[in-house]
Amino acid sequence: MKKTEDRQGYLFSKGYSNYMFMLLFLLYLFDYADRMVVNSMFSFIKADLHISDTQCGWLVSVIYLTIGLLTFPVSFLIDRWSRTKTIGIMAIIWSIATALCALTGNYVQLFMARILIGFGEAGYAPGGSALISGLYPLEKRSKMIGLWNASIPLGSAVGVAIGGIIAQSLGWKHAFGLVAFPGLIIAILFLFVKDYKTVDLSFVDKSNNKIKMKRKDIIKEFITKPSVFFTYFGMAAVVFVTTAMIVWLPKFFETENGLAPKTAGTLAGAVMMLAVIGAPLGGFLIDKWRKTQPLARMLFPALSTFVSAIILFIVFFILKGTGQIILLFVFGVLVMTFIAGAAAVTQDVIHPGLRATSYAIAVVVQNILGSFTAPIVLGKISDLSNIKTSMSILPFALLIGALLFYLGSKYYLSDMNKVAKVRLEIAE
């Protein structure tokens, strides 16, 4: 007899699901540590390689560009083949690529190694989202995705903090080598975990006949769901801001507050690391509110993003010194509370056999419009004027994100009613 989801909505045992979740959490942590370790080392890399702020920004943006270009085909492979094997292979690639950064001798070599990191990371977020959506019941989806996404700011903060400390003590190349190997170990372990059976792409028509989905049906699955499209672009607006903060907040502290690179990197890492509290807190609050408000997974991101915009406006236009830093800590907690609800929506309203593909579209949109664009745009504005001017555009990006989430909430329930009901099975 085929094993399917049990009465509580768990496909595997609760203990095994939590074990897989912990490995996914650690991989995401090292994913972002590898990706963001470069941020607090810009001053050292600039001095060594004689490059500009714009070129520094490209060392981050090229990863997001690579992810944006490759995530869709990789994620379709994930949906049609194996989530666990693909995730493990990708993590091995990005870990090795990070180690290669330590062996580079010029900007071109470093740039190419960063491209390889993006190649490895291309399908991880979609694959992980699809796997978590299958591991846990619907009513716990926001909470678990929120907990998983807490690894993003934690990994980013670890990377930024470690980068500044090691670069100042041992040199910037050593930082790349030291953050690469933990992820490699976890990646190898992940190759041996279980997976759920690939979901057949079919739906039941009005006559209760099972019909295999054609290409036009797959396309229709997305274009007829306005809530998910508003969510994709709302996520991009917030990710534009969070990426900009992770990349350029260390320099902002150096320039505007007169802090040393080591201190600036540590403080910036601490601000963004507070999202470790915000991401799971958002998931908990969203799932709790959803019991009385079915639109919670879209309304909560709209509210939290709007408040984050107000806070950031006060930070960059009104306050200075200690008050500014304290409010940035509040922002650090609040800004990532959106992710649990938004990421859950990308899974809620789409056929279970296309969940990784759905999140891949989210990744493409948020990487091209958000993560890829932010470091370059702010770097260019900084080169033309100053870092404070470049950072001052961020509150307005958040306002756009809040509006998009709110508009998406108008369609969420009707889109949920269109989703095919499929029970998952454990792969043999």
Q: Is residue 9 part of a domain?
A: no
The gap from C-alpha 120 to its chain's centroid, in whole angstroms, comes to 15
Residue 4 falls inside a structural domain: no
Does 3 map to a domain? Answer: no
Across the chain, which has 428 residues, the per-10-residue mean pLDDT values are 51 82 92 82 83 83 83 79 84 91 89 90 83 81 85 81 78 81 88 76 61 76 89 96 87 80 77 84 92 94 97 90 88 92 90 81 85 85 88 95 97 86 62
Q: Does the residue 331 lie in any domain? A: yes
Structure confidence by residue, pLDDT tens digits, 210-240: 667 777 877 887 888 999 999 999 999 999 9
Rounded to whole angstroms, how far apart are CA atoms 346 and 359? Answer: 6
Domain assignment present for residue 56? The answer is: yes
The 3-state DSSP class for residue 13 equals: coil
Query: What does the block give as tokens for 126?
Result: 């979609």
**Residue 146 counted as domain residue:** yes
Helix axes 296-317, 275-290, angle to 10 degrees: 150
Tally the domains of the chain.
1
pTM: 0.76
Domain presence at residue 425: no
User: What's 187's domain CATH number?
Assistant: 1.20.1250.20
Range of the domain at 293: 14-416
| Per-residue pLDDT tens over the stretch 257-271 | 777 777 787 788 788
What's the pLDDT at 412?
94
User: Is residue 25, in this structure, part of any structural domain at all?
Assistant: yes
